[in-house]
Structure 1
Amino acid sequence: MPQEPVGARAWSGPEGAEAFAAVDAATDWLVGYPFVFQALAEKSRAGRVLLDFGCGPGRVADHAARRLGMRIIGVDASSEMLVLARRQNTPGAEYHLVRDGRADELPDACADAAMCNHVLASLPDEQAVLGVFGEIRRLLRLGAPLVLLTTDPAGSGIEYASLRIGESGVTYRPGQSMSVRLRRTDGSWQTMPNHAWPPTTISALLERAGFTITAQHHPTPDEAQGVADPDHVHSRDWAAERRLPPLVVTVATRA
């Protein structure tokens, strides 16, 4: 299988942003993002604000806006990612740069709900994770939900449809460096340095940051029927995803 190793700053700069936008993400669109949207559905009344923390090139935010009817506020630490996000032309969306861990242009309690997809993988230690959770908490209203999508390092070494997490036989400690291979839309692969954050550690850090955990589970391909796009669900057999679902959806409430 063709594979192109890339460095620790692969998502930085214009080329990095374009590379991220070219990730296939087939597994995420089966057992990831649709379940994030499902968890947010209770807050999906028209006019309510959804914060996408670490919005990247804006593709997931665009889907969320059109499916949930919410107004998007996207934030990211990469100005190049925000350029791509604005090109999505999502109705009513606005995007802001995160500097030194804060979205200073945004006031406290400006969002009715938040999602944070695959951001934790880039964070090397507990303080960095707590910093992200703290800023999300600042931007959320009291009682608002936060939905996190993360990879589970327990699935290390398994070849999923669009990713492979870590190396076979390795048990990763919280925050430990862990490579992740991602399939591009052209069928090639790239390797990214990530960090391992097990579900139990994520729950504990959320509680330390002032959130209450309400749900956490690994969506399965069978559950995806009726949640994900039907054509996508039936596009392949998803054998690896059935063997051990690789993604975790954690739902918490801002206390």
Structure 2
Amino acid sequence: MHERSRGSATPPRDPDGGAWSGPEGARAFAAVEAATDWLLGYPFVFRHLARRIGEGDVLVDYGCGPGTVADAAARRLGARVLGVDTSPEMLELARRAGTAVAEFHLVEHGRATGLPDGCADAVMCNHVLASVPTQEGLLAVFTEVRRLLRPGGPFVLLTTDPACAGPEYASLRIGGPGPGPTPGEEFTVRLLRRDGSWQEVRNHAWPVELFAGLLHDTGFHDVTQHRPTVDEAEEVADPDVVRSRDWEAERRRPPLVVTTAVAH
């Protein structure tokens, strides 16, 4: 997200949809286990959002994929969640899953169709930036998120640190041997699937230190970053997830970073 287990496959790509584009890419994404994310990622995203929004507030999940995380957010936060994605196939999977997500909207030409300016009380964006090939593309994502947010609304961004190559995380392998990738360079990430095999994906290496400046440039302030630990996760993650593994690699070098910002 090194060693393969019972085979691996790479999902198809296209210039607009990224690594998970098309029907095959959508099905591949839906088969990913994401245990490390459910320990060190999503619970911390939800915790931050819970401090800022309440029952009935509008939360946009920018890059919602098949809707799993958006569904969890809707149920845990009581928010009215709107899922948006560049992939029609992802959105179709999400609609068929019968989630608690209120609406789904397609992103076309960088804009979430059908959603007006300032419609969201909060926006979350989980593991989307690794599919963006250029810094201009990152700015475009942040600009659209800012358009959707009301002034004062929080933006919560979850990313994998591309510098955390080497450790064998529970559901994640980052890069490979040799020097680390340069900013924006493609590198290989492997994700554990629920059948025990590994899904190989080509990501783009965006250092987490880059985000603060780009967020400031696109209308955000109060940017903070937090690298959640296993000890912290024992207080916020699902106890069944916490007990499912020893999380040895995650304890040594936590690989996920939560970036938060507030819309001007």
TM tier relative to shorter chain: over 0.9
Aligned partner of 2:27: which letter? E
Q: Is the 8 A contact 2:186 2:205 kept in 1?
A: yes
Q: Is the 8 A contact 1:57 1:82 kept in 2?
A: yes
Q: Distance in 2 between matches of 1:217 and 1:33?
A: 13
Q: Distance in 2 between matches of 1:91 and 1:30?
A: 22
Identity of aligned residues (%): 63
Q: Is the 8 A contact 2:153 2:263 kept in 1?
A: yes
Q: Distance in 2 between matches of 1:5 and 1:145?
A: 36
Q: Which secondary structure state, in structure 1, belongs to the residue aligned with residue 159 of structure 2? A: strand
Aligned partner of 2:190: which letter? R
Tell me if 1:55 matches 2:52.
Answer: no
Q: Is the 8 A contact 1:156 1:170 kept in 2?
A: no
Match of 2:9 in 1: 5
Q: Deviations over 1:207-249 (max 9, x none)?
A: 1111114421110111001200011101111000011000000
Aligned partner of 1:17: which letter? A
- Candidates 26, 29, 42, aligned match of 1:17: 26
Q: Deviations over 1:22-57 (max 9, x none)?
A: 100000000000000001012331110000000000
Residues 157-172 of structure 1 aligned to structure 2 (within 5 Å): 157-172=166-181
Question: Structure 1: which 5+ runs fail to align?
Answer: none
Match of 1:111 in 2: 120
Q: Tell me which moved more, 95-104 or 204-213.
A: 204-213
Aligned residues: 255
Q: Is the 8 A contact 1:156 1:169 kept in 2?
A: no
Tell me if 1:29 matches 2:38.
Answer: yes
Taking structure 1 as reference, are residues 184 and 154 closer, same or farther at Cα in structure 2, changes over 3 Å only? same
Tell me if 1:201 matches 2:210.
Answer: yes
Aligned partner of 2:229: which letter? T
Q: Distance in 1 between matches of 2:60 and 2:251?
A: 31
Taking structure 1 as reference, are residues 169 and 213 closer, same or farther at Cα in structure 2, changes over 3 Å only? farther
RMSD value, Cα: 1.3
Q: Is the 8 A contact 1:206 1:213 kept in 2?
A: no
- Candidates 132, 139, 142, aligned match of 1:133: 142
Cα displacement (A) at 1:154: 1.4
Q: Which secondary structure state, in structure 1, belongs to the residue aligned with residue 111 of structure 2? A: coil
Match of 2:96 in 1: 87
Residues 197-236 of structure 1 aligned to structure 2 (within 5 Å): 197-236=206-245
Match of 1:120 in 2: 129
Question: Structure 2: which 5+ runs fail to align?
Answer: 14-18
Q: Tell me which moved more, 45-54 or 10-19.
A: 10-19
Match of 1:245 in 2: 254
Q: Is the 8 A contact 2:129 2:138 kept in 1?
A: yes
TM-score (norm 2): 0.93
Q: Which secondary structure state, in structure 1, belongs to the residue aligned with residue 245 of structure 2? A: coil
Q: Distance in 2 between matches of 1:231 and 1:37?
A: 17
Aligned partner of 2:10: which letter? V
Q: Deviations over 1:77-97 (max 9, x none)?
A: 000100111123233610000
Q: Deviations over 1:84-119 (max 9, x none)?
A: 111232336100000111113110000000000000
4+ residue runs over 6 A deviation: none
Aligned partner of 1:27: which letter? T
TM-score (norm 1): 0.96
Q: Is the 8 A contact 1:180 1:192 kept in 2?
A: yes
